[in-house]
Amino acid sequence: MVRAMLGQAFGLSNSEINDRLNIKTFITQGDRELSGSLAKIGGKGLFTKEIEWALLHGEADIAIHSMKDMPAQMPDGLVIAAIPTREDPRDAFVCDIAGLPWELPKGSVFGTSSVRRRAQVLNRRPDLKIVPLRGNVGSRLQKLEAGEVDAMLLAEAGLKRLNKSEIRRTVLEPEEMLPAVSQGVLCVQMRSDDSRLHLVTKALACAITGLTSATERAFLTHLDGSCQTPIAGLATLEGKRLFFRAQLLSLDGQEALSLSEALTLGTDTTEERLEKAAEFGIKIAESIYNAAPASIQKLVRAA
């Protein structure tokens, strides 16, 4: 997808794209270790370290990540070159026996390895049995078809990018299930000294997604959130109004705290707007942490 966007931006034909923009794939630690949850095998950097090593050592010039996978700090010498337009950030409920997670029969088996999804589901349905579910979309769907689980949640962004229109699902509005921070956002990463950096930035960067992502990333970074903490958050921009909704939960979902705030942005420069967006994210992180019960504060501090 990113290669196609670059090709279009620079007016390359399909043959020129294939010749000049080669794709090299990497199997990361997060791809290899599919047993158990991400929290148990480390959380931060599981899907980025091998790719960042390739960038730093000249084996790759441009790296594409899911922003959800990006640690707060990146290695010296690397920068975020661009944040393209965001895909649908919502969660999709995939199930043959119910239209919503809350409509599942008592004791149904729900598959997820996301501590955020686990906590949000248990918050409303503590009777459900949660089992780990890792792997790509195809392997997860196979487990559903085989009856290993009764239901699951997938990122709608992933289903759209894979053109999985045939998969029956219910897309959950943020008011019903707040998504993970940066869900649906891509991160284009390059070496800071690459002379082509500004060209990639100009070709791929989306100003709106960059602004909302700055809020979400600052919020998560200030909380030092990881795969071990049930944190949800979504920033949206409507005209000059930047809205942010956040949620913190206990691991078992029995305690939950939500917060929603808005910020009016003026006619500042792009850099000033990004700075204000980040400050907004930090402000909300502090507010929700201070209002959280001691058990959730302890969980955040331990991450």
Distance from C-alpha of 69 to C-alpha of 156, rounded to nearest angstrom: 16
H or E segment and range at residue 240: none
Through-space distance between the first and last CA atoms of the chain, rounded to whole angstroms: 33
Strands 91-95 and 151-155: antiparallel
Catalytic residue flag (residue 69): yes
Amino acid making up residue 104: L
Question: Which one is catalytic: 19, 69, 193, 252?
Answer: 69
Distance from C-alpha of 188 to C-alpha of 222, rounded to nearest angstrom: 22
Mention every residue, 6+ apart, whose C-beta is less than 8 A from residue 210.
83, 274
Mention every residue, 6+ apart, whose C-beta is less than 8 A from residue 128.
101, 104, 107, 108, 109, 110, 121, 122
Distance from C-alpha of 203 to C-alpha of 206, rounded to nearest angstrom: 9
**Residues with catalytic function:** 69
